[in-house]
Copies of this chain bind each other. A is one copy, B any other.
Amino acid sequence: MALQSKKKTKQSGECPFQEAMDLIAGKWTMSIVNVLMSGTMRFKELERQVTGINTRMLVKELKQLEAKKIVKRKAYATVPPTVEYSLTEKGTSLKPVLTAIQSWAISVLQPR
C-alpha cells in the first residue's frame, strides 16, 4: 500500500496497436460507442439501449470513455438531472473499426 512507484501505467506505450486494443476490449465498450453513433443520448436512454448492461458498468464505462476522450459528457442542472452523452471526434473516428467488426461478425459468425 505504501510506495506507489508501481504506477501500473499499463505500459502500452510500446505499441499503438496494444493501446487501441486496451481501449476496444471490454465487454461493453464498443456496444456503447455503437449506440452513441446514432447521436447524443441521456444516461437512462443509454441504459435502455445497451441491452443487458447494469448501472454500475455503464457508469464505469462512460467514465473511462470520457477519460479517453471518446465520449463527451454534458450535464444540465435540472430536476431530475439531465446528462447528455455524445461521441467526440475521436469517438466517431472509430466508425471504420466498428463496421469492420460488424461485417466480419455477420459474414463469419452468422450460420447463413
8 A Cβ contacts from A1-42 to B = 14, 16-22, 24-27, 30-31, 34
Stoichiometry, copies per complex: 2
Main secondary structure of the interface of A (DSSP, over half): helix
Interface residue A103 (Cβ < 8 Å from any Cβ of B):
yes
Task: Find A97's partner among B94, B104, B109 (CB 8 Å cutoff).
Answer: B104
Interface residues of A (CB under 8 A from B): 14, 16-22, 24-27, 30-31, 34, 51-52, 90, 93-94, 96-97, 99-110
Task: Find A107's partner among B51, B93, B101, B104 (CB 8 Å cutoff).
Answer: B93
Chain B contacts for A93, CB-based, 8 A: 104, 107-108
> Most chain-B Cβ atoms within 10 A of its Cβ — which of A14, A93, A99, A109?
A109
